């Protein structure tokens, strides 16, 4: 079974969803990277500032080093001063987890920096007159920075998700608003097909792409109407030209039949029947040519049934948006086909499908093969040796000329449906 393609509105919203999601993901990832780099720089800058401030307070003398002034409480946090022998001179190592690392860095005569378990350490030697007299060690915990980074990432992710939802909803609403106009145009065109093929969208000058589409469709409809009008005029003129000599032929044949007998009479009868069928075909051509002018006519199902001399139906009062004559002329060959191919009398079934009235001619014959449901309407197609294969094509054309359609349903059992707009 064929999978139904998603609507244009769905595809537009899905495109907005994908694009906005990718954009938001890249932005969040970029923010995370920048925050990480910024936090690392902040930790390093803070360590350097604390080490430099503590180094400025260290003085050397004959009796060793000493701190000449008390540093601020902020700088005192996690700052240690060691002499050149690795002895702690200032600061407290109450945390055993820090002691080994801090003491190792405190004996260093060169600047070193390490990060262990989310704690960064920086050791900077203190030199006076080129002599190494002490080492200052500072530590900075990354946890406050990481908490701020996580909070920022959650906030960025939330804003990104909100942006995705808003962008998708905005695309859906914009597509709905634009396609609502297209749907309105489609509904109008469908209504015109059944009621008024001379109407136009007439969007006026300027406007957006949809207005341009409306103007283009109006121009196309004008060309179609002109072509159909020319075809109807040609059909009408040809039919008129044929009716005159055909009337002469019928009159002469009728006159000859009165005095003929035997084989001659039989031949004239066949000629007369063929001429009558030709006249019916010409009348059909005239109805097709003039059907557009009769589109405003209305008829009930009961009137059509009466014309065909068929039993009443439950839908006799239903009004059809079509004149009676082309419908009767289209249904009659269907009844004749049913009588020819079915074993019993054909039946007329009337149902409603929304605004459409379905008049079905049903029989108990073999019906139409599934592969022939369209081929039976091709000119020249026949199911037997009789006929020229013009009845069904002309019948379909007549129904379509008044805004309906004629379709065949596959057997067993013949079923032809005349589908006409109802009122």
Sort 307 into a burial class: Cβ within 10 Å, 0-12 / 13-18 / 19+: middle
Boundary of a domain, candidates 147, 178, 210 = 147
Range ranked top by mean pLDDT from 287-296, 340-349, 374-383: 340-349
pLDDT of residue 197: 59
pLDDT of residue 22: 92
pLDDT of residue 360: 92
Going by the DSSP 8-state scheme, the letter that residue 19 receives in this structure is H
- What DSSP letter does each residue of 322-339 carry, written as one string? S-HHHHHHHHHHHHHHHH
Smallest CA-to-CA distance from 17 within 130, 170, 126 is with 170
pLDDT of residue 407: 93
pLDDT band at 383; cut points 50, 70, 90? low
Q: What is the pLDDT of residues 88-131, one digit of tens each?
A: 888 888 766 678 888 888 888 888 889 888 889 999 999 888 88
More confident residue, 362 or 228: 362
How far from chain centre, in Å, is Cα 195?
28
State how many domains the chain has.
2
Residue whose pair of structure tokens reads 């405003």 in the numeric block: 296
Residue 392 lies in a domain: yes
* Residue 199 and residue 192 in contact, taking contact as beta carbons nearer than 8 Å: yes
User: Is a pLDDT exceeding 90 seen at residue 416?
Assistant: yes
Q: Taking the chain, what is the end-to-end CA distance rounded to the nearest angstrom?
A: 35
Q: What is the pLDDT of residues 305-321, one digit of tens each?
A: 898 888 888 888 888 98
Arithmetic mean of pLDDT over the chain: 82
Distance from C-alpha of 323 to C-alpha of 300, rounded to nearest angstrom:
9
Smallest CA-to-CA distance from 248 within 280, 267, 275 is with 275
More confident residue, 75 or 324: 324
More confident residue, 215 or 189: 215
What's the CATH code of the domain at 138?
Answer: 3.30.450.20
What's the CATH code of the domain at 331?
Answer: 3.30.565.10
Boundary of a domain, candidates 115, 147, 179 = 147
Residue 42 is encoded by which pair of tokens? Answer: 């902040």
Residue 387 lies in a domain: yes
Residue 214 is encoded by which pair of tokens? Answer: 């409306």
For residue 70, how many other CB atoms are within 10 A of its CB?
Answer: 10
Residue 247 lies in a domain: no
User: Is a pLDDT exceeding 60 seen at residue 293?
Assistant: no
Dmax (CA) of the chain = 161
Residue 174 lies in a domain: no
Residue 249 lies in a domain: no
pLDDT of residue 385: 44
pLDDT band at 408; cut points 50, 70, 90? very high
Residue 95 lies in a domain: yes
More confident residue, 252 or 417: 417
Task: Read off the pLDDT of each residue in 3-14 and give the average, rounded to a whole number.
Answer: 79
Beta strand extents in 44-160 (DSSP E only): 58-61, 64-67, 79-83, 88-90, 112-116, 119-128, 131-141
pLDDT of residue 191: 66
User: Is a pLDDT exceeding 60 seen at residue 403?
Assistant: yes
Task: Read off the pLDDT of each residue in 255-281 and give the average, rounded to a whole number.
Answer: 81
pLDDT band at 282; cut points 50, 70, 90? confident
Domain span at 111: 8-147
Residue 256 lies in a domain: no
Boundary of a domain, candidates 116, 147, 178 = 147
pLDDT of residue 419: 93
More confident residue, 221 or 13: 13
Residue 365 lies in a domain: yes
Sort 408 into a burial class: Cβ within 10 Å, 0-12 / 13-18 / 19+: buried
Instruction: Mean pLDDT check: name the lowest of 34-38, 209-213, 363-367.
Output: 209-213
More confident residue, 343 or 355: 355
User: Is a pLDDT exceeding 70 seen at residue 292?
Assistant: no
pLDDT of residue 198: 64
Instruction: Mean pLDDT check: name the lowest of 15-19, 104-108, 124-128, 387-391.
Output: 387-391
Q: What is the pLDDT of residues 50-89, one digit of tens each?
A: 888 888 888 877 777 877 765 555 555 788 888 888 888 8
Q: What percent of the chain has pLDDT over 90?
A: 9
């Amino acid at each position: 079974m064929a999978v139904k393609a998603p609507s244009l509105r769905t595809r537009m919203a899905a495109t907005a969803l994908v694009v906005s999601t990718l954009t938001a993901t890249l932005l969040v990832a970029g923010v995370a990277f920048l925050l990480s780099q910024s936090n690392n720089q902040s930790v390093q800058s803070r360590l350097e500032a604390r080490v430099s401030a503590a180094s400025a307070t260290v003085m050397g003398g004959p009796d060793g080093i000493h701190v000449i002034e008390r540093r601020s409480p902020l700088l005192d946090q996690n700052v240690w001063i060691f002499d050149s022998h690795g002895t702690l001179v200032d600061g407290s190592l109450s945390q055993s987890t820090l002691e080994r690392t801090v003491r190792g860095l405190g004996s260093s005569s060169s600047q070193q920096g390490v990060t262990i378990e989310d704690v960064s350490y920086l050791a900077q030697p203190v030199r006076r007159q080129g002599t190494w007299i002490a080492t200052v060690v500072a530590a900075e915990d990354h946890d406050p920075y990481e908490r701020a980074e996580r909070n920022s990432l959650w906030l960025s992710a939330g804003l990104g998700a909100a942006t995705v939802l808003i962008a998708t909803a905005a695309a859906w609403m914009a597509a709905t608003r634009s396609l609502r106009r297209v749907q309105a145009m489609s509904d109008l065109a469908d209504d015109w097909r059944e009621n008024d093929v001379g109407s136009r969208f007439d969007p006026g000058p300027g406007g957006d792409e949809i207005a341009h589409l409306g103007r283009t469709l109006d121009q196309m409809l004008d060309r179609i109407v002109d072509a159909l009008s020319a075809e109807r005029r040609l059909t009408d003129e040809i039919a008129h030209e044929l009716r005159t000599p055909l009337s002469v032929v019928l009159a002469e044949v009728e006159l000859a039949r009165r005095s003929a007998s035997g084989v001659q009479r039989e031949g004239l009868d066949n000629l007369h029947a063929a001429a009558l069928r030709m006249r019916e075909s010409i009348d059909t051509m005239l109805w097709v040519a003039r059907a557009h002018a009769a589109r405003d006519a209305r008829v009930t199902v009961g009137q059509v049934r009466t014309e065909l001399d068929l039993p009443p139906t439950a839908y006799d009062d239903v009004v059809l948006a079509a004149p009676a004559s082309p419908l009767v002329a289209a249904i009659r060959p269907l009844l004749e086909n049913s009588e020819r191919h079915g074993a019993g009398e054909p039946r007329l079934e009337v149902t409603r499908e929304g605004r459409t009235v379905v008049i079905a001619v049903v029989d108990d014959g073999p019906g139409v093969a599934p592969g022939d449901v369209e081929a039976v309407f091709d000119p020249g197609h026949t199911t037997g040796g009789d006929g020229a294969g013009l009845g069904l094509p002309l019948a379909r054309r007549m129904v379509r000329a008044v805004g309906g359609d004629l379709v065949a349903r596959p057997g067993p059992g013949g079923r032809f449906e005349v589908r006409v707009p109802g009122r």
